Amino acid sequence: MTVDVLLGLQWGDEGKGKIVDVLTNSYDIIARFQGGPNAGHTLEFNGIKHVLHTIPSGVFHKNKINVIGNGVVIDPIIFKKEIEGLEKFSIDLKKSLLISKKAHIILPTHRILDAASEISKGKSKIGSTLKGIGPAYMDKTGRNGIRIGDIISSDWKIKYNTLLKKHLNLLDNFKKIPVYDLKSIEKEFFKGIELLKKFNLVDSEQYLFEENLKGKNILAEGAQGSMLDVDFGTYPFVTSSTTTAAGACTGLGISPTKIKDVFGIFKAYVTRVGSGPFPTELHDENGEKMSKIGKEFGATTGRARRCGWIDLVALKYSIQINGVTKLMMMKSDVLCGFKKIKICNGYKINNKVYHHLPYNINSDNVEPLYEEIEGWSENISNIISEKKLPKNFINYIKYLEEKLSVPIVIISVGPDRKQTIFRENF
């Protein structure tokens, strides 16, 4: 009956994978709605850590259906690696994974174009994950893309070669391009295509509509975060898809009137990987401490994530754009041991104070305005009941709920499934 949406409210890596996995018990279908293998969603249980890129985070639960929606872009090479990685856990995704025929394909040349584009930007590069995301979405909106449904059509190779030729022409326009061996990448690519053909390729919007009518519960899983949204993020340092709640409608074909809850996930502090403005970024021992305790390295690229204090200007903006109904705070354990916790409540730009996200921010012109509260020294990573949480931590939660006007219903205190506190208001 229900369709709920779960998405990140910051610059990605909030912990979406962990929470989708934790919530999957309450749903019949988990459906990814946008992004591609730029995502890295981490799940931990039974002492094993899994990182998923294209495949929805409900796959470790029996008798659940996982859907890759039309809004997702799929790299057949990465998809094949993910499937092979899951095989050792005896997960038969041929039955439980449905792939939209309308999802677009990332070609090897999309990745090369991504790298060439970044090289050409020099110091102002986006800091892309170099997975070909931007070029693939450009072909989608430019109406040149190839979709999953095309791989089973008789003119698939013609379509592939037409787009390949266009890409090679485009690459000729770049002064500098990365070294690449197209033939060997294509070999892997076509193996991935053959594997994709063995899966259940469907009109997923129709499937979801019918299942919903039958009373099935659907959880729409977002990738990246609202501040990386192509419209509302810190443009141009964003990704190329709609990462906000609207993306669940366009990326799955679900009507807005069907959506009940929008779960917004945020870290108790902030991280960002790649370039772009980050008003509360820390370049001191506090930032280093967050990075070290939080093990802040990208799940997809391994790059160090930049760390900083929580930013309520950006968070309020994300809550507003998404219509968040319930908040979930992640990595709360990481802030243990900080004497004071800083909270950014405003930006000062050219002597003017802002409480909303202005048109353009860049890290040089924004002075974050902070309030400070007392930190806590108690280790909270083994706590399972909110009643046992330290007083100063509860004060932090209360402070945030008051400023954000949305209840925090889950508190995550560690990477494992079990390290999750469901509050009484859940």
Output the six-digit token pair for 16: 């979406």
CB of 233 to ligand IMO, least distance (A): 8
Residue 264 as a binder of ligand IMO (CB under 6 A): the answer is no
- Tell me the C-alpha to C-alpha distance, in Å, between residue 387 and each of 151, 332, 367, 406: 54, 15, 37, 20
Among Mg ion, ligand IMO, ligand GDP, none, what does residue 134 contact (CB within 5–8 Å per kind)? Answer: ligand IMO
Region of 79-87, 128-136, 284-292, 395-403 interacting with ligand IMO (CB under 6 A): 128-136
Chain positions 294 to 313 lying near ligand IMO, rule: CB under 6 A, are 299
Q: State how far the Cα of 233 lies from the Cα of 320, in Å rounded to an integer.
A: 13
**Closest separation between CB of residue 272 and ligand IMO, Å?**
7
41 part of the active site: yes
Using CB under 5 A as the binding rule, whether residue 13 contacts Mg ion is answered as: yes
Report the candidate in 179, 186, 206, 208 with the shortest Cα–Cα distance to residue 30: 208
Q: Which of residues 287-316 bind ligand GDP (CB under 6 A)?
A: 294, 299
| Binds ligand GDP by CB under 6 A, chosen from 3, 11, 15, 275 | 15
Give the three-class secondary structure for 198.
coil
Of 6, 107, 248, 299, the one binding Mg ion (CB under 5 A) is 299
Window 29-58: residues binding ligand GDP (CB under 6 A): 39-42, 44
Alpha helices in 128-262 (DSSP H): 133-141, 156-172, 182-197, 204-213, 246-252
**Toward ligand GDP, which CB reaches closer, 68 or 334?**
334
Per CB under 6 A, the list member of 133, 265, 343, 410 interacting with ligand IMO is 133
Residue 100 as a binder of ligand IMO (CB under 6 A): the answer is: no
* Residues 390-419 contacting Mg ion, CB under 5 A: none
Give the containing element (helix H, strand E) for 261. strand 259-267
- Respond yes or no on whether the N-terminal peptide bond of residue 236 is cis (omega within 30° of 0): yes
- When asked if residue 415 is in the footprint of ligand GDP (CB under 6 A), the reply is yes
State which residue, 13 or 311, has the beta carbon closest to ligand IMO. 13
Long-range contacts of the stretch 389-398 (C-beta < 8 A, 24+): 389/421, 393/332, 396/268, 396/335, 396/341, 397/329
State both tokens at 423: 């509050």
CA-CA-CA-CA dihedral for 115, 303, 219, 47, to nearest 10:
140
Catalytic residue among 4, 21, 28, 41: 41
